[in-house]
């Protein structure tokens, strides 16, 4: 692979990885605090994409609107509604099960995931829906050694928004009262409860932050790929979880790193292999990481306590 | 009323709940996207969202007044030994006679395909029940082992001409082997990882089957797989090669229904064998170890049991039964395609186990029969099937995690003087 091609794959890989990272943070925060895989998280991302498209269609058909306003309102609406879904999923499917054997919330989570996927499929048809191309043009595009290297504006937007959100989340967790409560809960949830932290509030907050980021990811991927269906959340969810595991589950910088790495690995792999195999590469990577370094790149090894 | 809450708190609560409901329902249930010739069109359907909002609002308003203080939990007084145990053999015998005569009765005869599919799901669910029910490991890729079993028979039959009964053990071994290969790295870790890894594995298997055109025939799959034989007689219209068909032996003219009946009996045989084998296994030390491990892994380890090995036996045995089911499915249908082994199959099998009762064989059998035959009766059900299955899983976990027909725990009681 020559340099310009490498550069192009780097750009593609990073923007794909940014989306994985956005979803992965939701997985990793929930896992860090209540030690559970929230299978429904991929569907939350998909719901975000649908709300974005619904908002764009609703506003776009009613009034003529500049594209940036459509995008901003789609993002705002998607975040608002998806956060409600994130909260509601925890409140109804997980909270009543707290303290039951480990298998019970996991089954509830997978049930929720199946439910949400088919809920959208029944309500909004199972067909591929096309998202209008609101972001056109390229941030830059040049020819190097006869190979065109370009970065479309939609990919650039994904990268910028993701980096901004990551920075915000990191600062928020590090320096606010709620962030401190989150960190305390992830260290020892029972002790945090004894010290007067409202554990239920922290858990709800975690799900809302996860849904927030996933919604942004969903809207942006819709605007960039221009096609959504009710099943996009399933594969994206497994891959984002893979990203979280690569980075070390429970660690927020780990999720960001894992997302970027997975995006890059997948893009470079599909440059060499037929594209159908890129999912296989991602899932095999998950098994490989668990085999070699189950605590991930930035995670701490888990100590089991009685 | 809870505590000293004033009216305004209740109203505020209700308004917030109504607002959240509005956000949850209006955009997705109230606004429907649809593709028409002019492009994307939004339809508005505000009836259900508005109903939901009103119900939630007024529900929250009255809730504090109707909610009673929680009473102390009543501990059920247990019967010493279930009476049913005495008649167990009689019951099982009657059930078997019923199952054998069923295809010859008019209602049974009309549902033969459904009943045979139910047998396949019973086998699958019995296998998954070992993993999820006894050992307490969440396996979301059961369809992958089902696929491995089906393709093992399909490929062996196509390339080497192996018959069903020759390939059946190989299909089970292949699926069990893959279970060991996959389980070994993952089962050393915390249980939840298994869930996501098996989910990924299910996708890998499906993608490989779909794309490895030269071996598996790609999306078209493999067709013309031989039907099984019954006690050495072929059950098809004409025998392949030298053999004699069962129908020639019995001296009856071939009717398609006869073949279905024969397949039903093979399915029934496999299910009965599986039930007996798993029942015996669960009473052996290894079966006790599965349940002990499910209840408390650390206690198990301190008693000298090896969690990884025990989990591995459960996982590979469960996969093996899925392999048997797969081989029978391939023989029953005569063709296999990768589409039959998508994640949705794993989800259906899991909901069967959850609904019937994890660790309860009778519950699982009943749930498999019900959930497979239900679509035959309610055609409209098909569209909402997965929606309902997902909801059922969540609700069962909240209200009745032990399933509809849970296993009665084996116990020995000291005689009370």
Q: Is the pLDDT of residue B411 over 60?
A: no
Radius of gyration of chain B (CA): 26
**Domain assignment present for B298:** yes
Q: What's the pLDDT score for residue B1?
A: 44
Q: How far apart are CA B210 and CA B188, in angstroms?
A: 31
Q: Tell me if B34 and A125 make a contact (CB, 8 A cut-off).
A: yes
- B343 touching chain A per CB within 8 A: yes
Place of tokens 């320096």: A175
Q: What is the 3-state secondary structure (H, E, C) of chain B?
A: CCCCCCHHHHHHHHHHHHHHHHHHHHHHHHEEEEEECCEEEEEECCHHHHHHHHHHHHHHHHHHHHCCCCCCCCCCCCCCCCHHHHHHHHHHHHHHHHHHHHHHCHHHHHCHHHHHHHHHHHHHHHHHHHHHHHCCCCCCCHHHHHHHHHHHHHHHHHHHCCCHHHHHHHHHHHHHHHHHHHHHHHHCCCHHHHHHHHHHHHHHHHHHHHHCHHHHCHHHCECCCCCCEECCEECCCCCCCCCCEHHHHHCCCCCHHHHHHHHHHHHHHHHHHHHHHHHHHHHCHHHHHHHHHHHCHHHHHHCCCCHHHHHHHHHHHHHHHHHHHHHHHHHHHCCECHHHHCHHHHHHHHHHHHHHCCCCHHHHHHHHHHHHHHHHHCCCHHHHHHHHHHHHHHHHHHHCCCCCCCCCCCCCCCCCC
Average pLDDT, chain A: 88
Chain A residue numbers touching B393 (CB-CB < 8 A): 107-108, 110-112, 114-115
Q: How far apart are CA A160 and CA A153, in angstroms?
A: 10
Closest residue, chain B, to A79 (C-alpha): B23
pLDDT tens per residue across span B112-156: 888 899 999 999 999 999 999 999 898 999 999 999 999 999 999
* pTM across the whole model: 0.88
Contact A21, A92 (CB under 8 A): no
Closest residue, chain B, to A242 (C-alpha): B196
**Domain assignment present for B194:** yes
Q: How far apart are CA A240 and CA A23, in angstroms?
A: 6
Chain A residue numbers touching B27 (CB-CB < 8 A): 51, 54-55, 77, 81
| Residues listed for chain B | 417
- Mean pLDDT, rounded, for B195-202: 88
**Domain assignment present for B31:** no
Kindly give the parts of chain A with pLDDT less than 50: none
- B219 touching chain A per CB within 8 A: no
Average pLDDT, chain B: 84
Q: How far apart are CA B176 and CA B288, in angstroms?
A: 21
- Mean pLDDT, rounded, for B93-98: 86
Q: Tell me if A115 and B185 make a contact (CB, 8 A cut-off).
A: no
Q: What's the pLDDT score for residue A27?
A: 92
Q: What's the pLDDT score for residue B61?
A: 86
Work out the burial of residue B28: count CB atoms within 10 Å of its CB; fewer than 13 is exposed, 13-18 middle, 19 or more buried: buried
Q: What's the pLDDT score for residue B167?
A: 92
Find the farthest-apart pair of alpha carbons in chain A and give their distance in angstroms, rounded: 65
Q: Is the pLDDT of residue B223 over 90?
A: no
Q: How far apart are CA A78 and CA B23, in angstroms?
A: 10
- Quote the number of domains for chain B: 1
**Domain assignment present for B228:** yes
Q: What is the 3-state secondary structure (H, E, C) of B336-371?
A: ECHHHHCHHHHHHHHHHHHHHCCCCHHHHHHHHHHH
Q: Is the pLDDT of residue B200 over 80?
A: yes
Q: Is the pLDDT of residue B410 over 90?
A: no
Q: What share of chain A is helix, strand, coil (3-state, %, to 5)?
A: 75, 5, 20
Q: Tell me if B397 and A105 make a contact (CB, 8 A cut-off).
A: yes
Among A35, A123, A238, beta carbon nearest to B32 = A123
Neighbours of A140 (CB within 10 A): 11
Instruction: Please give the backbone phi and psi of residue A148, each rounded to the nearest 5 degrees, phi first.
Output: -85, 125
Mutate: best of B33, B191, B202, B349, partner A, most A CBs <10 A: B33
Across A123-127, B77-81, B290-294, B360-364, least confident range: B77-81
Contact A258, A282 (CB under 8 A): no
Q: Tell me if A116 and B390 make a contact (CB, 8 A cut-off).
A: yes
**Domain assignment present for B299:** yes
**Cα of A133 to nearest chain B Cα, Å:** 13
CA distances from B45 to A120, B329, B356 (A): 15, 43, 37
Which residues constitute the domain of residue B251?
Answer: 109-379
Q: What's the pLDDT score for residue A159?
A: 92
Please name the residues between 146 and 205 in chain B that touch chain A, using a CB distance below 8 Å. Answer: 182, 185-186, 188-193, 195-197, 199-201, 203-204
**Cα of B219 to nearest chain A Cα, Å:** 13
Q: Give the residue from B183, B396, B182 showing the smallest Cα distance to A114.
A: B396
Q: Tell me if A84 and B23 make a contact (CB, 8 A cut-off).
A: yes
Token pair of A218, please? 């969903």
Closest residue, chain A, to B394 (C-alpha): A108
In the three-class reduction of DSSP (H, G, I as helix; E, B as strand; rest coil), residue A81 is classed as: helix
E strand residue ranges, chain A: 129-130, 138-144, 147-152, 227-228
**Domain assignment present for B116:** yes
Q: Please give the ipTM for the structure prediction.
A: 0.88
Q: Tell me if A58 and B31 make a contact (CB, 8 A cut-off).
A: yes
In this structure, the dihedral spanned by the alpha carbons of residues B192, B195, B200 and B201, taken in order and rounded to 10 degrees, is 120
Q: How far apart are CA A133 and CA A154, in angstroms?
A: 9
Q: Name the β-bridge partners of A144.
A: A147
Place of tokens 């790193």: A257
Q: How far apart are CA A3 and CA B267, in angstroms?
A: 59
- Mean pLDDT, rounded, for B22-43: 83
Q: Tell me if B189 and A294 make a contact (CB, 8 A cut-off).
A: yes
Following DSSP, what letter does each residue of A155-201 receive, concatenated? HHHHHHHHHHHHHHHHHHHHHSHHHHHHHHHHH-HHHHHHTT--HHH
Of the two residues B411 and A15, the one the predictor is more confident about is A15
Q: How far apart are CA A285 and CA A78, in angstroms?
A: 32
Q: Name the β-bridge partners of A152.
A: A138
**Domain assignment present for B300:** yes
pLDDT tens per residue across span A22-57: 999 999 999 988 888 899 999 999 999 999 999 998
Among B27, B196, B343, beta carbon nearest to A37 = B196
Contact A282, A237 (CB under 8 A): no
Q: What's the pLDDT score for residue B413?
A: 57
* B38: confidence class by pLDDT, cuts 50, 70, 90: confident
Instruction: Please give the backbone phi and psi of residue B96, each rounded to the nearest 5 degrees, phi first.
Output: -65, -45
Count chain A–chain B contacts defined by CB atoms under 8 A: 183
**Domain assignment present for B52:** no
DSSP state of A302: P
Across A214-223, B175-184, B223-232, least confident range: B223-232
Q: Tell me if B397 and A104 make a contact (CB, 8 A cut-off).
A: yes
Q: CA angle A27-A33-A36, nearest 5°?
A: 55
Q: Give the residue from A208, A207, A222, A227 showing the smallest Cα distance to A158.
A: A222
Neighbours of B29 (CB within 10 A): 18
| Residues listed for chain A | 306
Q: Where on the phi/psi map is residue A38: left (φ > 0), alpha (ψ -120 to 50), or beta? A: beta
Q: Is the pLDDT of residue B82 over 80?
A: no
pLDDT tens per residue across span B307-323: 889 999 999 999 999 99
């Amino acid at each position: 692979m020559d340099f310009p091609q490498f550069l192009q794959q780097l750009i593609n890989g990073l923007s794909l990885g940014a989306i994985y990272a956005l979803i992965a943070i939701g997985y990793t925060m929930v896992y860090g605090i209540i030690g559970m895989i929230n299978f429904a998280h991929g569907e939350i991302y998909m719901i975000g994409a649908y709300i974005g498209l619904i908002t764009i269609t609703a506003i776009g058909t009613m009034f003529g609107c500049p594209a940036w306003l459509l995008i901003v309102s789609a993002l705002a609406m998607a975040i608002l509604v998806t956060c409600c879904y994130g909260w509601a999923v925890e409140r109804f499917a997980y909270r009543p099960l707290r303290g039951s054997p480990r298998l019970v919330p996991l089954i509830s989570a997978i049930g929720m995931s199946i439910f949400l996927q088919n809920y959208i499929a029944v309500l909004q048809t199972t067909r591929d829906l096309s998202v209008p191309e609101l972001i056109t043009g390229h941030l830059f595009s040049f020819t190097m050694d006869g190979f065109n290297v370009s970065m479309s504006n939609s990919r650039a937007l994904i990268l910028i928004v993701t980096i901004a959100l990551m920075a915000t989340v990191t600062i928020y967790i590090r320096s606010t009262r709620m962030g401190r409560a989150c960190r305390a809960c992830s260290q020892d949830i029972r002790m945090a409860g004894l010290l007067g932290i409202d554990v239920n509030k922290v858990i709800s907050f975690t799900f809302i932050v996860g849904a927030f980021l996933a919604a942004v990811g969903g809207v942006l991927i819709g605007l960039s790929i221009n096609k959504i269906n009710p099943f996009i959340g399933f594969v994206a969810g497994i891959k984002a979880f893979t990203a979280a595991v690569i980075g070390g589950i429970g660690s927020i910088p780990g999720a960001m790193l894992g997302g970027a790495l997975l995006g890059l690995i997948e893009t470079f792999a599909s440059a060499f292999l037929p594209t159908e195999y890129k999912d296989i590469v991602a899932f095999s990577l998950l098994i490989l990481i668990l085999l070699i370094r189950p605590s991930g790149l930035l995670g701490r090894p888990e100590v089991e306590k009685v | 009323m809870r505590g000293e809450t004033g009216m305004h708190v209740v109203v505020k609560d209700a308004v917030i709940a109504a607002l959240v409901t509005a956000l949850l329902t209006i955009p997705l249930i109230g606004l429907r996207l649809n593709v028409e010739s002019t492009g994307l069109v939004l339809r508005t359907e505000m009836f259900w969202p508005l109903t939901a909002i009103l119900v939630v609002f007024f529900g929250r308003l009255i809730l504090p007044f109707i909610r009673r203080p929680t009473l102390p939990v009543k501990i059920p007084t247990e019967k010493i030994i279930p009476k049913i145990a005495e008649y167990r053999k009689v019951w099982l015998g009657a059930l078997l006679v019923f199952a054998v005569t069923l295809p010859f009765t008019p209602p049974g005869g009309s549902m033969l395909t459904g009943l045979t599919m139910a047998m396949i799901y019973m086998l699958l669910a019995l296998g998954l029940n070992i993993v999820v029910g006894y050992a307490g490991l969440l396996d979301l890729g059961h369809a992958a082992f089902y696929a491995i079993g089906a393709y093992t028979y399909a490929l062996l039959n196509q390339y080497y001409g192996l018959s069903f009964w020759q390939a059946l053990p190989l299909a089970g071994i292949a699926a069990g082997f893959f279970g060991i290969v996959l389980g070994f790295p993952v089962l050393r870790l915390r249980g939840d990882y298994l869930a996501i890894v098996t989910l990924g594995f299910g996708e890998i298997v499906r993608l490989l089957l779909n794309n490895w055109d030269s071996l598996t025939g790609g999306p078209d799959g493999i067709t013309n797989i031989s039907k099984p034989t019954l006690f050495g007689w072929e059950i098809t219209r004409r025998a392949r090669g030298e053999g004699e068909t069962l129908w020639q032996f019995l001296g009856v003219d071939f009717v398609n229904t006869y073949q279905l009946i024969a397949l039903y009996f093979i399915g029934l045989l496999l299910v009965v064998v599986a039930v007996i084998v798993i029942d015996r296994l669960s009473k052996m030390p290894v079966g006790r170890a599965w349940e002990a491990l499910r209840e408390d892994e650390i206690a198990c380890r301190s008693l000298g049991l090896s969690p990884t090995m025990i989990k591995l036996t459960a996982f590979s045995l469960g996969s093996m039964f899925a392999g048997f089911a797969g081989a029978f499915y391939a023989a029953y249908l005569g063709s296999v395609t990768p589409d039959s082994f998508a994640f949705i199959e794993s989800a259906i099998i899991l909901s069967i186990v959850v609904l019937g009762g994890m660790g309860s064989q009778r519950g699982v059998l009943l749930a498999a029969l019900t959930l497979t035959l239900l679509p035959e009766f309610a055609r409209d059900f098909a569209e909402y099937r997965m929606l309902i299955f997902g909801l059922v899983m969540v609700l069962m976990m909240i209200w009745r995690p032990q399933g509809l027909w849970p296993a009665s725990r084996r116990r020995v009681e000291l005689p009370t003087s």
